[in-house]
Amino acid sequence: MKRLFVIATGNAGKIRDFAFILGTEQNDFKTLREIGFEEDILENGNSFEENAIIKSQTVARWLAEKNTEATVLADDSGLQVFALDGEPGIYSARYAGKHGDDKANNAKLLQKLEGVKDRSARYFCALSYQTVIRESNGKFSISEPRIFEGECRGQINLAPVGDKGFGYDPLFIPNGFSKTFAQMELAEKKPISHRGKAIRALRDALENDLREN
């Protein structure tokens, strides 16, 4: 029987990242929509870690009420520009006001960086892992969250370049490269992406748990 991973997202694209690294031979991956979860999750934390935990706990509690054993994975990610004290940070997706308006978000970031010499930044991901299990008494319990992190450091370009990816990818040039994330093919981007690094850290921890048990 495959292990059920519920990814706290409605984005099917994220599923591919998790499935690619964790493998599908023994694992089954589902989005919130696929399990019938339709609640709005209020991400009112003050950090990526807090928001990731809020998402994983909300979904885990819902699954426990449904008497469903599963592993819940929730990530919160964003861009942090050091010269701007970490902006846009947890507000990355709604930096210019409207959630998901990539063009406006990029324009606002460039405007705030006008005349700024230090354009160093990082993409950061916090991944929260929680399990919902059935105890011997028949009740369902939820594990404490475990956090795994990943980052990719780079520079903010002077103008958007490239038509691949999303978010701030047209502006972000990872260290060691001369092109933006939006110019990269997935095969080139995945090994260095912040989310990929967090998922691989989780994979390594799970493999270590198996060895110890």
Q: How far apart are CA 164 and CA 100, in angstroms?
A: 16
Tokens standing for residue 127: 């991944």
The domain in which residue 133 lies consists of 4-212
Q: Which residues are tagged catalytic?
A: 76
Q: Which residues of the chain have pLDDT under 50?
A: none
Q: How far apart are CA 152 and CA 175, in angstroms?
A: 8
Which residues does the annotation place in the binding site?
A: 9-14, 76-77, 166-169, 189, 194-195
CATH number, domain with residue 83: 3.90.950.10
Q: How far apart are CA 123 and CA 78, in angstroms?
A: 6
**How many structural domains comprise the chain?**
1
What pLDDT shows up at residue 208?
87
What pLDDT shows up at residue 179?
97
Which residues does the annotation place in the binding site for Mg(2+)?
A: 76
> Model confidence over 59-92: pLDDT tens digits?
999 999 999 999 999 999 999 999 999 999 999 9
